[in-house]
């Protein structure tokens, strides 16, 4: 099959224990380059990433969205597809093949890796995460008529479509911003099941009470805000 020129962007904050394994397992025949965005780590994330063949760029301002924005600012010219995945080894890097082959063969603009449709290690998605996903995707269905099953981080999007979305969110609202804007821009969207497991290293967001709460509020607020903007601008 004809393959797109695809680049992986991995936001990483203190992931020295996991990032090497993530990079090792990314299928080289599908990916032109891996960009690890070191989000101000105090450990050896960047050294480990570099020694595993990634290009490392730095984003000192913390926040998942900030790291993704910096990653896409460093895409090589002519990149056709950008893949996002986490650096904590929760996603299965080899499944990037499935994301890309579906995106390409179905001529989609955006492929969401759905952890809800895939195989999950017990405890890898917490109850508040599942409830938050359910609530957010229901709200999106109600507002836009499109049924997502997940807001997972593992996804692939055509570069040209991504630039039309003019992404802005600097932290937890990034994934939902992309999905809502994709609907507002009438992108062709598909989902494929992806597997998910417990992260390597200490949980920073989803297994902490304050992280879960902040992320949940930000996600719901982002859906409401984007809907408001969309109705104003038509
Ligand atoms: N928490 C956090 N993660 C960041 C930041 N910048 C980049 N990341 C990376 O973003 C990805 C997702 O963050 P995670 O901490 O795994 O978030 P999560 O999956 O919701 O929760 P846990 O895996 O339980 O910590 C990881 O690769 C992080 O290293 C940041 O400012 N904060
Ligand atoms: Mg994680």
Position 231 pLDDT exceeds 80: no
For 55-81, the pLDDT digits (tens) are: 999 999 999 999 999 999 999 999 999
pLDDT (0 to 100) of residue 234: 47
Please give the domain boundaries of the chain with CATH numbers for all domains: 6-233 (3.90.550.10)
Ligand in closest contact with the CA of 208: 1
- Ligand 1, closest atom to CA 66? 6
pLDDT (0 to 100) of residue 207: 79
Ligand in closest contact with the CA of 218: 1
pLDDT (0 to 100) of residue 117: 97
pLDDT (0 to 100) of residue 1: 72
Position 37 pLDDT exceeds 90: yes
Looking at residues 113-134, what average pLDDT do you find? 95
Mean per-residue pLDDT over the chain, rounded = 96
Q: Could you tell me which residue, 142 or 232, shows the higher pLDDT?
A: 142
Position 146 pLDDT exceeds 80: yes
- Ligand 1, closest atom to CA 204? 25
CA distance 144 to 206: 27
| Range with lowest mean pLDDT among 5-9, 35-39, 157-161, 211-215 | 211-215
Looking at residues 108-114, what average pLDDT do you find? 98
Position 233 pLDDT exceeds 80: no
pLDDT (0 to 100) of residue 208: 85
Position 167 pLDDT exceeds 80: yes
User: CA separation (Å) from 58 to 4, 31, 37, 66?
Assistant: 26, 21, 6, 10
pLDDT (0 to 100) of residue 232: 67
Position 22 pLDDT exceeds 60: yes
Contact 5, 79 (CB under 8 A): yes
Q: Is 67 in the pocket of ligand 1 (CB under 6 A)?
A: yes
Identify the three-state secondary structure at position 229.
Answer: helix
Share of the chain above pLDDT 70, in %: 99
pTM of the model: 0.96
What residues contact residue 28 under an 8 Å CB cut-off, 6+ apart?
A: none
Contact 16, 44 (CB under 8 A): yes
User: CA separation (Å) from 15 to 28, 29, 46, 119, 199?
Assistant: 21, 25, 9, 23, 10
Q: Is 202 in the pocket of ligand 1 (CB under 6 A)?
A: no
User: From the CA of 191, how far away is ligand 2's center (Å)?
Assistant: 20
């Amino acid at each position: 099959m004809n393959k797109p020129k695809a680049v992986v962007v991995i936001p990483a904050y203190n992931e020295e224990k996991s990032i090497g394994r993530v990079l090792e397992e990314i299928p080289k025949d599908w990916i032109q380059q891996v960009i690890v965005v070191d989000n101000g780590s105090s450990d050896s994330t960047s050294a480990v990433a570099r020694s595993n063949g990634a290009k490392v760029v730095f984003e000192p301002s913390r926040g998942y969205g900030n790291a993704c924005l910096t990653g896409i600012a460093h895409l090589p010219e002519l990149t056709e597809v950008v893949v996002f995945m986490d650096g904590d080894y929760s996603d299965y890097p080899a499944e990037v093949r499935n994301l890309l082959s579906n995106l390409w063969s179905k001529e989609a603009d955006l492929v969401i890796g759905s952890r809800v449709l895939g195989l999950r290690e017990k405890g890898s998605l917490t109850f508040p995460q599942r409830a938050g996903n359910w609530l957010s995707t229901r709200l999106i269905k109600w507002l836009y008529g499109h049924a997502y099953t997940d807001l997972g981080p593992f996804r692939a999007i055509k570069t040209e479509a991504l630039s039309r979305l003019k992404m802005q969110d600097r932290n937890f609202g990034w994934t939902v911003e992309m999905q809502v804007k994709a609907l507002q821009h009438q992108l062709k969207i598909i989902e494929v099941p992806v597997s998910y497991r417990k992260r390597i290293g200490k949980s920073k967001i989803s297994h902490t009470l304050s992280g879960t709460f902040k992320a949940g509020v930000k996600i719901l607020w982002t859906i409401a805000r984007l809907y408001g903007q969309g109705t104003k601008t038509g």
